[in-house]
Amino acid sequence: MRTIQVNLSRNNYKIQIGSGLLSQVGNTLIAMGFRGKAVIITNPTVRALYGEILLSEIRKAGFETVILEVPDGEEYKSLEWAGRLYNQLHDFQTERMTPVLALGGGVIGDLAGFVAATFMRGLPLLQLPTTLLAQVDSSIGGKVAVNHGKLKNTVGTFYQPQIVIADNSVLKTLPGEEIANGMAEIIKYGIIRDQGLFEIIEKNLDNLSAQNESLLEELIARCAAIKAEVVEKDETDLGPRNILNLGHTIGHAIETASDFQIEHGKGVAVGIIAAGKISRNMGILSQPDLERMGKVISEAGLPVRINGLKIADILQAMQHDKKKAGGKVRFVLPKKIGDVFISDEVTVLQVERVLEELI
């Protein structure tokens, strides 16, 4: 098991990464000082695979435990389902110190986190991420939210968990597409901050499967450490956290322009290539580094270009982001593998030029 410490102004917590950690959660709860009741929030897919095992482990440790279920899908990350969970927490006679365990991918982590943050003005939250994306990204950093109509992740708050327990053995049941989605974020971390991580991915391109537990544990730990460090510097996302958005400016616009038919990881993959090309055209990123990025992305099962979208729609979606950011589109651009810079000066023409090659 590897442990990463997150030190924030008001609280500190650990991220644990290792195979088989879910079967120790009962003891972990006791060691953290919890007694009495515990609540698991999950979805039917994850419940069938890991929910019952977790439930019996926690009961064995002496907790009165209930599993609350939300259907599987982004559309249930809503105020309506938060409301249903509030009722169920009330029925269970949840107390202020009853821990909420969010067992699932980013959807469950965000929704259960939002519910834990708001019910009785805050219940202790444990993040038990079960997707690669959730283990390297969404479970760390305290952003919790629900969607509201077309407003994605707009109703939310910052609420840090008391611990993140990432059991990488659960990734074996994750569909290949979801592994690829998580890989997009892992590649992103390598490019923004960790050349060594990028080289490990390059060396293991034939070996990047969820079956390779020790490799995944290493990748997850390195990414979690980067996210923890960035969050420590900028808990409420006012500046330095921006670097985590590499590939996301154009990536989000691609997702939006496709009416969310193109998944996040795929949008980010093409967004990373676009950012690389913009930087290359400015004479900053080297051609060999740009090619290494393209190779890693395609070998990880992600696209380096996307057909069937209109460039005008992508630019339009970016205009929306621009309004949110106070009039400028902020780009994170790679300087070289392992280092990035931020620019507010990228012109529409520069973006159009690279999109013409990629779309």
* 145 strand-pairing partners: 156
**Stretches 106-114, 201-209, 267-275, 298-306: which one binds ligand NAD (CB under 6 A)?**
106-114
Least Å distance, CB 289 to ligand NAD, is: 26
Q: Give per-residue burial for 240-252: e unless 16+ CB within 10 Å, then b.
A: ebbbbbbbbbbbb
Please, how many CA atoms are within 13 Å of residue 245, restricted to the half-sphere of its CB?
A: 19
Least Å distance, CB 350 to ligand NAD, is: 27
Residues between 282 and 301 with contacts to ligand NAD, criterion CB under 6 A: none
- From 107, 201, 354, 359, residue interacting with ligand NAD (rule: CB under 6 A): 107
Q: Is 105 in the site for ligand NAD (CB under 6 A)?
A: yes
DSSP 8-state class, residue 51: I
Q: Under rule CB under 6 A, how many of the chain's residues touch ligand NAD?
A: 27
- The tokens for 184 are 């997009």
Q: Is 267 in the site for ligand NAD (CB under 6 A)?
A: no
Q: In terms of CB distance, is 25 or 285 closer to ligand NAD?
A: 25
Q: Give per-residue burial for 60-85: e unless 16+ CB within 10 Å, then b.
A: ebebebbbbbbebeeebbbeebbebb
- From 19, 23, 78, 173, residue interacting with ligand NAD (rule: CB under 6 A): 173
Least Å distance, CB 139 to ligand NAD, is: 8
* 50 strand-pairing partners: none
Q: Is 19 in the site for ligand NAD (CB under 6 A)?
A: no
Amino acid at 58: I
- From 49, 200, 304, 315, residue interacting with ligand NAD (rule: CB under 6 A): 49
Asked whether 219 and 200 are in contact (CB, 8 A), the reply is yes
Q: By rule CB under 6 A, what string of x and - marks binding of each residue 130-159 to ligand NAD?
A: xx-xx--xx--x-x---------x------
Q: Is 232 in the site for ligand NAD (CB under 6 A)?
A: no
Closest CA to 126 of 10, 13, 6, 1: 13
Q: Is 237 in the site for ligand NAD (CB under 6 A)?
A: no
Q: Give per-residue burial for 261-291: e unless 16+ CB within 10 Å, then b.
A: ebbbbbbbbbbbbbbbbbbbeeebbeeebbe
Q: In terms of CB distance, is 175 or 288 closer to ligand NAD?
A: 175
Reported residue count of the chain is: 359
Distance of alpha carbon 80 from alpha carbon 260, whole angstroms: 21
Q: Is 350 in the site for ligand NAD (CB under 6 A)?
A: no
Q: In terms of CB distance, is 131 or 279 closer to ligand NAD?
A: 131
Distance of alpha carbon 129 from alpha carbon 135, whole angstroms: 5
| Residue ranges that bind ligand NAD, judged by CB under 6 A | 43, 45-46, 49, 72, 74, 77, 104-108, 110, 130-131, 133-134, 137-138, 141, 143, 153, 170, 173-174, 178, 181
